[in-house]
Amino acid sequence: MDLKDLIRDVKDFPIEGIVFKDITTLLKNPEGFNETLDNLYNISKDKGITKVVGIESRGFIFGGALASKLNAGFVPIRKPGKLPAETVEEEYELEYGTDKMEIHKDAIEPGDKILLHDDLLATGGTMKAACNLVEKLGGKIVQISFVIDLTFLNGKDLLKGYEIHSLIEY
């Protein structure tokens, strides 16, 4: 199965000029969902991952399932004001605007071996901010994985020094 065939392009979403890579068409397909999860799992098994950190909101879908398969904990990074306990915060740039993200202060123990996961790498700003949050809390970033890499935006340049994996490239 070519997973690329299950991803839908939505033109001019959320603003004009952006071609949005819609993974809901992949998620609703049972074989597509499982093949994506298995491929992500194969990248990260045997790495001693203790926690998977997923980025709101599409990073929660495979991130949570992966954590279960890896026998690791799951930690959400969320938009401001969503997490109830004490947080640390980081500002970041999107392909289409700027935003902030938060993580619970007690979500990561120093020395935790972290897999960071999101659905898509564009400019890399979101993942870079997530890396900063994890490292502020003493986590060791072992791997970063994405379902999709928009390689023409060179997001990997912002994430130099980390082990980065993606399943589908454009």
Q: How far is CA 40 from CA 62, 80, 105, 118, in A?
A: 8, 28, 27, 11
* Among candidate residues 169, 101, 95, the one with its CA nearest the CA of residue 125: 95
Residue 159: strand, helix, or coil: helix
Choice among 58, 90, 93, 109 that is catalytic:
58
Q: Does 155 bind ligand AMP (CB under 6 A)?
A: yes
Q: Are residues 87 and 119 in contact, defined by beta-carbon separation less than 8 angstroms?
A: no
Choice among 35, 93, 95, 163 that is catalytic:
95
Active site residue 78: no
Phi, psi for residue 74 in degrees, rounded to 5: -120, 135
Q: Looking at residues 125 to 154 of the shown chain, list those that interact with ligand AMP (rule: CB under 6 A).
A: 125-126
Q: Looking at residues 28 to 67 of the shown chain, list those that interact with ligand AMP (rule: CB under 6 A).
A: 55, 58
Q: Does 27 bind ligand AMP (CB under 6 A)?
A: no
The DSSP 8-state label assigned to residue 52 in this structure reads E
Active site residue 58: yes
Q: Which is nearer to ligand AMP, 50 or 166 (CB)?
A: 166
Applying CB under 6 A, the residues found at the interface with ligand AMP are 18-21, 55, 58, 94-95, 118-126, 155
